[in-house]
A and B are shown apart, each in its own frame.
Chain A
Amino acid sequence: GAVVSQHPSWVICKSGTSVKIECRSLDFQATTMFWYRQFPKQSLMLMATSNEGSKATYEQGVEKDKFLINHASLTLSTLTVTSAHPEDSSFYICSAVALQGAEDTQYFGPGTRLTVL
C-alpha cells in the first residue's frame, strides 16, 4: 500500500518554543491531508484538513494561529505548533488521501510524539 512518513517521530521541546512536524506521501500525490491529535488512551481527533495550494480548514475548537498548517506541495504538509505548552503534548498523526477512483483511500503516517516540558 501507499506510504506516508512523518518527521520527526518524536520531539521534546521547552515550553514556549515552536515545533514543526512534516508529513510526506512517499509514492503518491495527495491533494488532501488530514492532521489528527491523539491523547493517551483516547481516540484520534481531527484537527484540520490540509488542501494543497489553499488554506487549511480547522475543526471547531482548534486554534489556527497556534497550529499552523502549510500544504505547499502535493507530497508535503507541515504542522507547526507555535509557542508550545505542556498541554500540547500529544501524539500527532497525519493522513494523506490517495486518489484511486472509486476507492480513494486515506493512509496514515506513523505519528509524531510531542512532549513539551
Chain B
Amino acid sequence: QKEVEQDPGPLSVPEGAIVSLNCTYSNSAFQYFMWYRQYSRKGPELLMYTYSSGNKEDGRFTAQVDKSSKYISLFIRDSQPSDSATYLCAMSVTNAGKSTFGDGTTLTVKP
C-alpha cells in the first residue's frame, strides 16, 4: 500500500465550478502538507503549504488538513480554464524535508 493515495482522475469540470481534490495518507509522522500544480512537461509549482491540521486560504484556493482522519483536500473556487493541469499532493515529516507525492489528479476546466 502506498503511503499517499490520491483520488484518481481525470477530472473534467465546467468553468466556474468548485473543484475538490483529495489525498489520504498512512504515515502519521507527516506534519507538512503541500499541493503542487504541474503543467505538462514542466516541474511542479507549489500552490499551498500547510503545517499540521487546519485550513489555509489563498485566493481561490483552500487547503484543508485533517490529521485525525489522515485526509487532506484542495478546493478551487470559480475554476478557470487556466487551472487545467495535474495537481499533486505531497507530504513530509520535516519542514522542506524529502517529500512523498501522490500520483496526481489531472484536471480539465472547460470554457
Residues of A bordering B, CB below 8 Å = 1, 4, 6, 32, 34, 42-46, 49, 91, 93, 97-98, 102-111, 113
Interface 0/1 of B35-54, CB less than 8 Å to A? 01000011111100100000
A-B contact count (CB 8 A): 53
Distance between Cα atoms of A102 and B76 in the complex (Å): 26
Q: Which of A1, A44, A91, A104 has the most CB of B within 10 A?
A: A44
> Chain A's interface: helix, strand, loop or mixed, by majority?
strand
Residues of B bordering A, CB below 8 Å = 6, 34, 36, 41-46, 49, 88, 90, 95-96, 98-104
Find out whether the CB atom of B41 lies under 8 angstroms from the CB atom of A91.
yes
Find out whether the CB atom of A46 lies under 8 angstroms from the CB atom of B100.
yes
Find out whether the CB atom of B101 lies under 8 angstroms from the CB atom of A43.
yes
Find out whether the CB atom of A43 lies under 8 angstroms from the CB atom of B88.
yes
